[in-house]
Structure 1
């Protein structure tokens, strides 16, 4: 009997050594001993207590008065489960504090936000980090009920210092980074930056913002009583696509867009202070249907102006130089193909090209003055769209880093910067010494 017990004891010790781990050696010792006792009791039912180990006896001693003895194997198995659960919980707790888990959570947050916004407009121009940060902010903002139109909802942000923006966004030391920073430095003492939402409407949006925020008198085209009547162009309108749904016909919807544009222009011109104009802009540029109705109205003005210019070309009348470039393209030989291949896609799958920026300025009877930062050390640093009326049409100032995305430029305080009667700034020499602005204003 004694030798048999020794044999069982040696077997139990070997089983314990195979199961236990270095981290939980002490914790698992009693559990394994109990499991060993349970297996012996199943094989030797007649001798119920014969194969019990000291650990099992210790468990029995701990049983309080008259309590029924539990099956040792069940207890050991339950404790093993408890230990495994505890180990898993501890591992999860430690993993959550690691950088990998934090990164994984952030990626999950981004992917969730991206899935929710899969039908929204694509941003083709901004950096990956900026897009990622915007997705995170959108996700967090959903938990807070909006009480008013705020900065996060605006498609044109508040004024920002150009130097501050430049240093934050162009930190590198590459040739392009230095060139872009140089361009920002050249105009930093004249303008502040107003960042515009970076979708395929950005050129139209930045231009419309400048029109509403700076116009002091109505342009001649807006005073035409027939401006909102498009019956003669209804055949072209059938190919139009709108970024919003409506039960109205396309002709009725476009007339509504033009009426709204005319109304907003009149309101802006009647404002008595820049603050009143700013309030109008805050009401318009919030990404709702009204904003897109105004942008579509600008596109239709471009189409109507293209029809007139093409007619003048056919008659042999004088037309601006950009018209020859506009209608020389294989994809825009006439107004119909211009609409089909270009204008109807603006805002959806593409933006405005440079020659179309000329058409936009000509349609509004405004000179769009663009600071092209990637050409800051060339004569093309400042480009006018179009250039033939820059002395007598009001000037709207935009900024681009790549001829794709456009932001708006607003003058700094009149006490620090002087402007001529056309709204153009009187230049100050940049801190670097030589000025790279070679185009006459």
Structure 2
């Protein structure tokens, strides 16, 4: 059968609006909206039958004339997004079951396949979305938009009802904004993120002997084991600049609390939930963070990023370079140190989970490569070492041997006890060098 014959059968199931008629044939003609397609089919059929063209003027039984309200819905979405700063959007539709049933009945009565043409939901998303973009001067993004507007057509008045589209018929989802950078930690005994007290669970309180509550002995009532963290020193200016509800800190691994993070710094992403503003000046924001951190930490390479950056940072396969002060429990000669360092350079070590962390990590044996080692004696009992190793290498245990749980080790090769007394992380670099290019990060996220 021809498309006009099929169109006649659909129209006979009227009253059917032009959009619902045209939607049945969206896969058989192109370059028109569904309403234009439906109207063209009516006119063509009327001309072929030598009859006057009569536009449909009754309420459509399929969509109840919702297909005539694209402009109203788009305006309601634009109103709902007033005050939010965004560059990309997406529109989704919750279609009433009755309209879905009506669509199926229309195609069945006209002897058309169930999937013929286009669905009401698909057209509604596209047509309303197109108008939202025009009203807000933003771009549609089907992957990870800044904002998502979900239209609940079932909750809105029908064309036969009085009143505008109700506020609860449009649900707006504001997605997070992200800032990427690298941080340096310039003071020891500062964790990367907030560290709630284990004893009181972060409440700062404990049960008193005579009943009631009193300040926790373990944390002094603060609820935290440490007063400050890199997270607390960096997120407040970002949260304030973007005027969001909450800021989350995501780091590419973390250094020990007693270690400094120097030189190239460690990659991180700060996520701001429900931000009012997104297009912030990252140069100014970087300066604000560094002033706020007051010399305890600082950030560099700050740039706006995307959601994909969070996983890339958290899953970064990074090598690390450490500088450390080492103390021996017996005299060591320069020649012995040089030979031990040469033995460790380029070797692969086996490490059982260190005793210092086995209370919170599974006991496993891992192999890690020591890419490079340099070292020299300060005196017979003290040395300075620089180690470049594969991600996950426990460098403190590489020095001490951890009572035989790491082999080979500096202590084992020297035959003396060795302990790291000060540790600095001087570089955290992706095994994939492209990771360190902010533009690459933004594009590939």
TM-score (norm 2): 0.25
Q: Flag the structure with higher strand content.
A: 2
Greater per-residue helix proportion: 1
Higher relative contact order (CA 8 A, sep 6+): 1
Structure whose CA Rg is larger? 1
